[in-house]
Structure 1
Amino acid sequence: MKEPLAFRLRPELLDDVIGQEHLVGKDKILRRLVEEQRLFSLIFFGPPGTGKTTLAKCLANELKIPYRMFNAVTGNKKDLDGIFLEAKLAPGLVLIVDEVHRLNKDKQDLLLPHVEDGTIILLGATTSNPYFAINPAIRSRCQLLEVKQLSNEDLAIALKRALNHPDGLKDTTIDDDAIAIITHHANGDVRYALNILEICALGSNGHISKETVMQYSQFPNTGMSSGDDGHYDAVSAFQKSIRGSDVDAALYYLARLIQAGDMDSIERRLLVTAYEDIGLGNPAAVARTINAIDAAKRVGFPEGRIPLSVAIVDLCLSPKSKSACEAISEAMSEVENQALPVPEFLRLTPVGLKEEEKYDYGRSDLWPQIQYLPNAIKNKHFYIPNTNSSYESQLAKNLAELRKITKFSKIADLKKKSR
C-alpha cells in the first residue's frame, strides 16, 4: 500500500524544512550544530504537525550519524536493550523518541545512564509543555527547543511543493482559494494540510476547487485534543484573558477548549483563576464558579457550555484581587528562606512549660493578643489588602483594627495583664 502523502514528502535535510527559521535559519542553533559537527541531547516541543520528529531526522542525516526510532508509548524494554547493545558498539548513536513525555519510569531508568555518558544522544519530540510534562531527570540532560506553529504562508508553500514533488501529486492542480481554505483549516499543522490535499486529490478529477475542499474538510483543526497537552497555549491564554478582564477573549479560548472536549483543563484552570485572580475581590463569584463547573459536568457538552459561559462573564467583569495568592507566596518565600521553630506555647505538646505559660483554650478573650509568629519575624506582614471591592475593603478595616492590638509572646505576662 502506498504511504501517505505527508510521509512521502517528509524532508530529509534542513534545507527542505519549511518554516522554523529560528532553528534552521542562518547562524541558528541547528545550522550551527551542523557546521560545527556537534550534537547533544535535545527535546523538540510544539504543536502537532510542525515537524519535530522531522527536524530530529534531518539533523541526524546532516551530521551523518546513524539513528534509531523509538515510540515512548508502544516501545518496550526489549527494543531499548537492542538499541543499547548497538550503542555500545557505536557510541553516540542517535535515539529519536516520539512522545518522549510518555516515557515511564522503568524506561527512563534504563535510558538515563546512557544519555548521561553520551553513549546515546537523545532527540525527543513532544506536543506537551516540557516544563510540566517531561520528567526533570530527562529534562536536565537535554536542551529544549520550541518548534512553532507554521504560518498560512508556510502551509501554502508545502501544498504547492506537494503538487510538484516527484513523490507528490504531479497530475493534480489546485485553485488559490482552495489552498487558502486548506491552510485556514489546517491551523498550522502541515501534516493535516497534506492529508486534506491528498483526500481532495483522490476525490476530484485532477483539479481541486474550493467546493472540493469544503466537501472533504468542513471543520478547522483546533490543534488541540483532550488526550495530550498540546493545548497548553490556549489554556494559558484562557487564564490570562480572565485575569485581564477581556470577556470576549476568555469566551473565545473557552470555545476552543470546549471544541477539544477538554473539561479537565477547563475545570482546573477556571478554579485556579477564580481563586488566584478574583479571590477576595468577589468571593461570591468564586463560589458561583464552583457551582457552574458542577452544573457543566452534570449536563455534559454541548449544554455544559452555558453555565461555563456564565462563570466566565462573571469572573471577567468582577473586581480582581490577588492579595490572598500573593500573601501565601510571600509566606512560602519566607519559609524557604528560614524555617523558624514554632513558639513553645503554640506547640501541640509543649514540654517544660508551667501552667500559666501555656496556651489557654478557655480564654478566647486573650487569643487576638497572642504573638503567633516566631520572634525573628514577629512584625512581618504577608497579607496586604486590595481595596478594589467593598468586601475586601471591609476586611482591610478589620485588619487595621486587629493590627493595632499589642501582641504578647509570653502567655504568663498576658494572663497577668488581663486580670
Structure 2
Amino acid sequence: MEPLAYRMRPQTPDEIVGQKHLIAPGKVLRRCVEAKRLFSMIFYGPPGTGKTTMATVLAQSVGLPYRMFNAVSGNKKDLDRLFEEAKLYPGLVVIIDEVHRLNKDKQDLLLPYVEKGMITMIGATTANPYHAINPAIRSRCHIFEFYALSTADCVTALRRALESEKGLNHLAEADDALLSQIAIKCGGDLRQAMNVLELCAYGCENGIIEEATLDLYLQKGQRLLDKNGDGYYNVLSAFQKSIRGSDVDAALYYLAAMIEAQDMDAIERRLLVCAYEDVGLGNPAAVARCVNAIDAAKRVGFPEGRIPLSQAVIDLCLSPKSKSAEAAIDKAMQALHQYGLQMPPYLHYTPVTLAENERYDYGRSDLWDQIQYLPDPLKDASFYTPQTNSQYEQVLAGNLKKLKRIKRTASLAQLKKGTNQKAE
C-alpha cells in the first residue's frame, strides 16, 4: 500500500492546504488554472509544503499531460523519451524534483525545448534558486516561494487523512490538540506529519492516539529543523539579526531551534560573528565572555551546553552595539585595493637607503605618536570612526581625538630636526 501522504495528495486546487498566496481565488496560480495556461516555473521552499503536489494539480487542472523527472537519477535516455513525447504533445509538463541538482549536460539538452515552449518545466527544490540554480535555467522560469504550512493547515489535512476512506478511514482517533502537536513538531512539513500520523495510528492502543504515543514514534532528529535544508540558513540569519536588533526573546527562540538541530559548530560561528561584528568595541568584555561561554558549552556538550549559550545570547543582545571595527577594516581594505600597498621608507624593516637621521628612532618614544605612518596618498585618511553609545568606545574616541590633534601639529621636518638635535 502507498504511504498515507501519497494516498492523500490533493487532486484539485481546492483540496490544497496552505500556499494561499499562490492558489487562493484571484492569485497567480489560480488564474493560470482558470486561463488554462501554464508557464515554466520553479517552486522552492521547505520540504513537505506541496511543491510537487501543486505542480501535478496544475497540470491536471489545465488538462496537459505531465511526466516526472528526477534531476539526480534521471539520465539522457529518459530525457530523450520526454523530447519525443513533447513532439506529440507540445507543452508537455515535465515536473523535475531536485531541480537544483540538474547538471550542465542535462540542462543543455533541456533548455532548447523549454525555450521554444515544447516543454513546460516545473522544478521543485528545497534550495534557494537564486543561489543554487544555474542562471540559464532560472532565467527561463518564473520563481515562486512556498512557505511552511501553518499549524491550522496541517491539522485540517491530518483530520482529513484520519477520516477519509483513501486515508486511515477512522483506524484511530486523535483530538485537534494532538494533531497540532504533530504539526508543530514536524515544523510544517505535511509529508512528515502524515508519516508520523500513520505510524501512530497503527501503533497506538485502543485506537486512540495520545501524546505518549507521539513521543514514542516521533524521533528527535526529525523535529523542527533540518540542518541540511535551506530553512536552516534562514534560522541562522534570523538568529544573528535578532541579536543585532537587541531582541533577546527572538534570539533565544532561534537559538532553541539551532540547539534542536544539535549543530554546535554553527552556533559557535554565529555567536562569534555576532560578538565581534555587532557588539565589538561597544562592549569588548561581553565579547570575551561570549568566547568563554562557547568554550564551556563545547566542554559540557548538550543538553547542559544550552545554559552558557543562553547566557551569551542574552549578554550580546542587551550589550551596547558597535560595528566600527568592521567598518574600519572595510575602509582600509578599500584603500588598499585603490592605492596598492605603499609605506614610508623609514618604516621598512631595514631601510638601507636612508641616512641614519632619517630612520625610525626606536629610542624616541616621545615622537612615536607624531610620526606619519600612512603613505603620502593616504596620510589624511581616517578609517576608524568611533560609535559613542558605550563608555568604552567614548574613551577610545577621546584618545583618538587627542592623537589626531598631536599629529596635526607635527611635521616630518620637525621630526627630522628633533632627530638631528639628538644626534648632535
The letter of the residue matching 1:143 is H
1:165 is matched with 164
The letter of the residue matching 1:6 is A
User: Matched residues in 2 for 1:175 and 1:344: separation?
Assistant: 74
Q: Which moves more between the two structures, 30-39 or 7-16?
A: 30-39
Mark the CA change 1:296 to 1:329 in structure 2 (over 3 Å): closer, same or farther: same
Q: Secondary structure in 2 aligned to 1:261?
A: coil
Mark the CA change 1:268 to 1:45 in structure 2 (over 3 Å): closer, same or farther: farther
Kindly state the Cα deviation for residue 195 of structure 1 after the two structures are TM-superposed: 1.8
2:98 is matched with 99
Percent of counterpart pairs with the same letter?
56
The letter of the residue matching 1:46 is G
Kindly state the Cα deviation for residue 113 of structure 1 after the two structures are TM-superposed: 5.3
1:225 is matched with 226
**Count of aligned pairs between the two proteins:** 399
User: Matched residues in 1 for 2:58 and 2:361: separation?
Assistant: 73
Cα offsets for 1:23-48 (capped at 9, x unmatched): 10122111122233333332222222
2:203 is matched with 203
TM normalised by structure 1 equals: 0.78
Mark the CA change 1:193 to 1:293 in structure 2 (over 3 Å): closer, same or farther: same
2:18 is matched with 19
Mark the CA change 1:199 to 1:285 in structure 2 (over 3 Å): closer, same or farther: same
User: Matched residues in 1 for 2:201 and 2:117: separation?
Assistant: 46
The letter of the residue matching 2:29 is L
Matches within 5 A, 1:193-342: 193-204=193-204, 207-210=207-210, 213-214=213-214, 216-217=216-217, 222-290=223-291, 292-293=293-294, 296-297=297-298, 300-327=301-328, 340-342=338-340
8 Å contact from structure 2 (residues 4, 195) kept in 1: yes
User: Matched residues in 2 for 1:103 and 1:373: separation?
Assistant: 53
Kindly state the Cα deviation for residue 59 of structure 1 after the two structures are TM-superposed: 1.8
Mark the CA change 1:382 to 1:124 in structure 2 (over 3 Å): closer, same or farther: farther
8 Å contact from structure 1 (residues 43, 142) kept in 2: yes
User: Matched residues in 1 for 2:35 and 2:376: separation?
Assistant: 58
8 Å contact from structure 2 (residues 94, 122) kept in 1: yes
Provide structure 2 residue ranges, at least 5 long, that are not aligned to the other structure.
346-352, 418-424
Q: Secondary structure in 2 aligned to 1:235?
A: helix
User: Matched residues in 2 for 1:374 and 1:193: separation?
Assistant: 64
User: Matched residues in 2 for 1:88 and 1:293: separation?
Assistant: 61
Kindly state the Cα deviation for residue 166 of structure 1 after the two structures are TM-superposed: 3.4
Kindly state the Cα deviation for residue 5 of structure 1 after the two structures are TM-superposed: 0.7
8 Å contact from structure 1 (residues 368, 402) kept in 2: no
Q: Which moves more between the two structures, 17-26 or 62-71?
A: 62-71
Matches within 5 A, 1:348-387: 362=360, 368-369=371-372, 372=375, 374=377, 381-387=382-388
2:42 is matched with 43
Cα offsets for 1:119-173 (capped at 9, x unmatched): 5433222223444444444444433322122222212211222234331122435
User: Matched residues in 2 for 1:189 and 1:147: separation?
Assistant: 12
Matches within 5 A, 1:75-114: 75-84=74-83, 86-87=85-86, 90-104=89-103, 107-108=106-107, 111-112=110-111, 114=113
8 Å contact from structure 2 (residues 154, 180) kept in 1: no
User: Matched residues in 2 for 1:388 and 1:142: separation?
Assistant: 48
Name the Cα RMSD after superposition. 3.8
Mark the CA change 1:308 to 1:344 in structure 2 (over 3 Å): closer, same or farther: closer
1:350 is matched with none
Cα offsets for 1:2-55 (capped at 9, x unmatched): 000110111122221012111101221111222333333322222221111111
2:67 is matched with 68
Q: Secondary structure in 1 aligned to 2:169?
A: coil
User: Matched residues in 1 for 2:186 and 2:85: separation?
Assistant: 39
Query: Is 1:52 aligned to 2:83, yes or no?
Result: no
Mark the CA change 1:327 to 1:198 in structure 2 (over 3 Å): closer, same or farther: same
1:191 is matched with 191
2:121 is matched with 122
Mark the CA change 1:313 to 1:50 in structure 2 (over 3 Å): closer, same or farther: same
Q: Secondary structure in 2 aligned to 1:155?
A: helix
8 Å contact from structure 2 (residues 43, 123) kept in 1: yes
Mark the CA change 1:306 to 1:54 in structure 2 (over 3 Å): closer, same or farther: same
Cα offsets for 1:74-118 (capped at 9, x unmatched): 444554454455446655433322233344555555555554554
1:352 is matched with none
Provide structure 1 residue ranges, at least 5 long, that are not aligned to the other structure.
348-354
Kindly state the Cα deviation for residue 300 of structure 1 after the two structures are TM-superposed: 4.5
Kindly state the Cα deviation for residue 312 of structure 1 after the two structures are TM-superposed: 2.3
User: Matched residues in 2 for 1:285 and 1:133: separation?
Assistant: 37
8 Å contact from structure 1 (residues 343, 374) kept in 2: no
Q: Secondary structure in 1 aligned to 2:123?
A: strand
TM normalised by structure 2 equals: 0.77
Mark the CA change 1:340 to 1:244 in structure 2 (over 3 Å): closer, same or farther: closer
Kindly state the Cα deviation for residue 217 of structure 1 after the two structures are TM-superposed: 4.5
